[in-house]
Amino acid sequence: MVGLSGAVIRIQQFLISPSMEVDAVSILKSITPSLEASKHKGQAGKIAVVGGCREYTGAPYFSAISALKIGADLSHVFCTKDAAPVIKGYSPVLIVHPILEESYSVRDEDEKSILEKVIEEVDKWMERFDCLVIGPGLGRDPFLLVEKNSIRKFDCVSNIMKHARQSNVPMVIDGDGLFLVTNSLDLISGYPLAVLTPNVNEIEGATIFRKGVSDFISNGETVHSVSSFGSPRRCGGQGDILSGSVAVFVSWARQLAGEPSMSATVMGCIAGSVVLRKAASQAFERNRRSMLTIDIIQHLGTSLEELCPVLVSR
């Protein structure tokens, strides 16, 4: 396990490691499944986003809707009670669970029983999920994410992550989920099915996707870059599209037969990067300075189709 200062040194090593521009489109094509009339609902992926609180409702929406736009069959959001009606109002296609509690609505003596209820609710679904996204718009409430050395004994999201890990469910960790893991590295340390998507970082065992002018993806051994043209607009929420997209591609990559030369998490990150960058470039061409995150979401389908045309088997 590495501490935060260790993680910072590793960021520097990560950045100076030689990286190779990867053939991202070939990887995308190799993991994207065909559409077959015989397939049933759920086989193309069931994704769950854990995030959304009073302040942030956009981030979990962007992430969850992007998973559907990439091609997942079902997309769930586990959020606080206050955020749920707002997120439901954005779209009827998302399945929204208003189960998380913030500390202002929980008495100290009720914490344990409420935590148990939250975990019971999530556990009902856990085995069915192909990938979780932890953190978009989660906020920093101490009953959601416990801080290091806090006197607080319980928090909801660490426990959800522990249960996901026990069930071998992959996790893409972004936004406030990154804040949580930098305070509790053991949540993901040594877990090969964790993907972290910070602006810069590295933690042993997990796959790191460092976002920027070029995206760098590493599992600690090799570094792959994706530098295809994206967009010069940096409006908020593009990282959320990425987390939802990567979740779907990781779940697809895990279905590959044989022994692929890269891990499912690395392949899923590469595929997510190339599709998002293409969608961002298309959205920017059309909207220029007024390009918004929702414009990129509208181009996810056409970008994926251009890079990896759909194959329909009857």
Ligand X SMILES: Nc1ncnc2c1ncn2[C@@H]1O[C@H](COP(=O)(O)OP(=O)(O)OP(=O)(O)O)[C@@H](O)[C@H]1O
Q: Which does 2 bind (CB under 5 to 8 A by kind): ligand X, Mg ion, ligand NAX, none?
A: none
Backbone dihedral angles phi then psi of residue 295, each to the nearest 5 degrees: -65, -35
Q: What is the largest CA-CA distance in the chain?
A: 58
Two structure tokens written together for 292: 């918004």
Question: Does residue 278 belong to the site contacting ligand X (CB under 6 A)?
Answer: no
> Taking CB within 5 to 8 Å according to partner kind, which of ligand X, Mg ion, ligand NAX, none is near residue 215?
ligand X
CB neighbourhood size of 90 (10 A)? 18
Cβ 237 to ligand X, closest distance in Å? 5
Residue 31 to residue 257: CA distance in whole angstroms: 10
Give the shortest CB-167-to-ligand X separation in angstroms: 27
Restricted to residues 53-82, the positions that interact with ligand NAX (CB under 6 A) are 56-59
Q: Tell me the per-residue interface mask from 134 to 173 with Mg ion, x by CB under 5 A, - otherwise.
A: ----------------------------------------
3-state secondary structure of 256: coil
Q: What SS3 class is residue 194?
A: strand
Shortest approach of Mg ion to residue 250 CB, angstroms?
18
Site for Mg ion in 231-270 (CB under 5 A): 239
Residue 157, annotated ligand binder? no
Alpha carbon 20 to chain centroid distance? Answer: 24
The single-letter code of the amino acid at 30 is S
Residue 191: DSSP 8-state: -
Alpha-carbon span 198 to 11, nearest angstrom: 11
Residue 135 known to bind ligand: no
**Among 124, 212, 305, 313, interactor with ligand X by CB under 6 A:** 212
CA–CA gap between residue 112 and residue 246 (Å, rounded): 33
Site residues for ligand X per CB under 6 A: 175, 199, 211-213, 215, 230, 234, 236-240, 242, 273, 276-277
Site residues for ligand NAX per CB under 6 A: 56-59, 136-138, 175-176, 178-179, 182, 198-201, 236-237, 239-240
Enumerate the known binding-site residues for (6S)-NADPHX. Answer: 137, 199-205, 240
